Structure 1
């Protein structure tokens, strides 16, 4: 089983669809081939907490606990 990598464009499209209120989580998962609803919840949390830099982070990189690029405040 391999990890999926979702592009920043997909992540933003999911957030936009979710904010519109026109789609359920299941519809969004089917539309963008997302395997787990927790992924949508994570992206929405990042959006709500204004952690927008995280939409472009590579797989396996942690931006919590002080890790990550130096240019991120």
Structure 2
């Protein structure tokens, strides 16, 4: 399954448009080429819960408190 990647700027623009009340979810999905309405709902939930650090995190596991684990190369793990 292919995962979409949205920039932080796109996520913030979606939240701004949704909170303005001027656009429906369908209009926002078409405007920003978002495939699923749950993505919009997730970003709004992050905003409402003040989890703003999540807007800049990559796809995958979302780490608490705005921190990501540093990735260590295989060579470094062996040392």
TM bin, normalised by shorter chain, reads 0.7 to 0.9
Question: Gapped runs of 5+ residues in structure 1?
Answer: none
Instruction: Determine the structure 2 residue equivalent to 1:63.
Output: 63
Q: Distance in 2 between matches of 1:13 and 1:3?
A: 20
TM-score if structure 1 supplies the norm length?
Answer: 0.85
- Name which of structure 1's ranges 22-31 and 55-64 shifts more when overlaid on structure 2: 55-64
Q: Tell me whether 1:26 sits opposite 2:26 in the alignment.
A: yes
Q: Tell me whether 1:15 sits opposite 2:15 in the alignment.
A: yes
Higher helix fraction (1 or 2): 2
Q: Cα offset for 1:43? A: 0.1
Instruction: Determine the structure 2 residue equivalent to 1:52.
Output: 52
Check whether the contact 2:54–2:62 (CA below 8 A) recurs between aligned residues. no
Q: CA RMSD in A?
A: 1.9
TM-score if structure 2 supplies the norm length?
Answer: 0.79
Aligned residues: 69
Runs of 4+ in structure 1 off by over 4 angstroms are none
Q: Cα offset for 1:69? A: 2.5
